Chains A and B, each alone.
Chain A
Amino acid sequence: MKCDEVRDLTGAYVLGSLTEDEIRQIEDHVAGCDLHAEIAGLAAVTMGLAAAGPEAEPPSGFTGLGERISAAIRADQNVPHREIAPITGTPIDGSVSPRTASSRPESSPAVSSRTLRFASWPVAAALAVALGALLVWNVALQMNDPGGELVHFFREEDGDWVRVEATLGESNATVSLGGFEPLPSSRDYQLWAVRNDAAISLGVFETGENGRWSGDIDFALERGDGIAITEETAGGSNAPTAEPLLSTQL
């Protein structure tokens, strides 16, 4: 196929309106031709066309469809699933004074190093990206590997989310979260672990303008522990004083 012939077909190509034979001929040609730039631009247009569709609600509702999708993903990857438990905690000995978790930007070296470690675990990387797209539904999914490494992601319908990467049984976990608007100086967010109905303070934190925070937690998480976030007075509380803004169970 000559360059002019291919150029005539770029619109049909990006719209998926060609036969497989025509597609193959175009792709063979484009591999050595600057028409790729035009095709990329037109393909970008088709991404915009997606917004021309109406916003609509599925017959089973977003919750129903979200559950279907979550179940399908779990079945596809054998991802274990646990129901979410509400936080019903009281302080336990040794954690009366909340520890202050270190607050730092998400892109800090400490977070990057952990991310790299998990990047060698492809399914975990897939988990993080794919679940980020489940923007509407309340989703809790988790990956465990035999070595005790765990990646847990939970996102509420209102957009709050938390992601926990941990080596179970070791005081070594990274928590990332988002959707929490910055608070006035008189208030702090407080992060809790919930074990055997007891709430253990993991520290207080402040989110950035983007509503995000990430930090390392000096606490040995176990399977079945809950993670919860409450809003407290500045400096934190000995026990949760309000309903959790988010809670999930590992």
Chain B
Amino acid sequence: MGRRAFGLAFRVLGDGSAAEDAVQDAFLDLWRQAASVDGGKGRVDSLLMTLVHRRAIDALRARERRTRISGVMPDEAVDHDAVELFEKVANALTHERVLECMESLPKDQKHAIELAYFGGLTHSEIAQKTGAPLGTVKGRLRLGLLRLRADFGIEAAQ
């Protein structure tokens, strides 16, 4: 988990020292939220990776002097339904499997998701960067994720 956490921060930030800071901040966040976390190791791992991603994106945006944009989840909460869905497939989602699924996406969808998830770009910024209309970018992000949801084996929530 340590390698994955650091690897994710490094992928986003491209800088070892900044990635260490992001991982440390994520652990502190986890520590502060831990009393409200209900579940075992798998749940904690999922939450930790979410926090590492959020911290890394925050750091990236701050570094690039871009306006901070709220992350997916409020600082003090986690989407427990999402964590529950993810826990069911987490063991099967190896690094290789995730890359394989990403590679199977249409190039435009893959690129849009990478720019958003690892690059921290907003949908407007992605539209600017790629020259695609905003509506097209929204569609690429959603359709790409829907396809990944199927490829990852994540069941639709009830």
Q: How many residues of B contact A (CB 8 A)?
A: 85
**B residues near A18, Cβ cutoff 8 Å:** 69-70, 122-123
The one of A10, A44, A50, A132 in contact with B8, judged by C-beta atoms closer than 8 angstroms, is A50
The one of B11, B32, B98, B149 in contact with A76, judged by C-beta atoms closer than 8 angstroms, is B32
State the majority secondary structure of interface residues on A.
helix
A: interface residue count bin: 35 or more
Q: How far is the CA of A129 from the CA of B46 in the complex (A)?
A: 13
A125 within 8 Å of B (CB atoms): yes
Find out whether the CB atom of B7 lies under 8 angstroms from the CB atom of A56: yes
Please report which residues of chain B, range 100-149, place their CB below 8 angstroms from some CB of chain A when the two chains form the complex.
102, 113, 116-118, 120-123, 126, 135, 137-146, 148-149
Please report which residues of chain B, range 79-98, place their CB below 8 angstroms from some CB of chain A when the two chains form the complex.
79, 81-83, 85-86, 89-90, 93-95, 97-98
The one of A12, A38, A132 in contact with B123, judged by C-beta atoms closer than 8 angstroms, is A12
Find out whether the CB atom of A15 lies under 8 angstroms from the CB atom of B116: yes
The one of A54, A57, A62 in contact with B11, judged by C-beta atoms closer than 8 angstroms, is A54
A37 within 8 Å of B (CB atoms): yes
**A residues near B135, Cβ cutoff 8 Å:** 8
Find out whether the CB atom of B71 lies under 8 angstroms from the CB atom of A16: yes
Find out whether the CB atom of B31 lies under 8 angstroms from the CB atom of A47: no
Find out whether the CB atom of A130 lies under 8 angstroms from the CB atom of B30: yes
A137 within 8 Å of B (CB atoms): yes
Find out whether the CB atom of A72 lies under 8 angstroms from the CB atom of B4: no
B59 within 8 Å of A (CB atoms): no
A-side residues, CB < 8 A to B, are 7-20, 23, 36-60, 62, 65-66, 68-69, 72-73, 76-77, 122-123, 125-130, 132-137
B-side residues, CB < 8 A to A, are 1-4, 6-12, 16-17, 19-20, 23-24, 27-28, 30-32, 34-35, 37, 40-41, 44-46, 48-50, 52-54, 57, 69-73, 79, 81-83, 85-86, 89-90, 93-95, 97-99, 102, 113, 116-118, 120-123, 126, 135, 137-146, 148-149, 152, 154-158
- Apart from A11-B138, A11-B142, what are 11 other A-B pairs with CB-CB below 8 Å? A9-B138, A12-B137, A16-B116, A20-B70, A37-B81, A47-B49, A48-B86, A50-B8, A66-B2, A122-B35, A133-B48
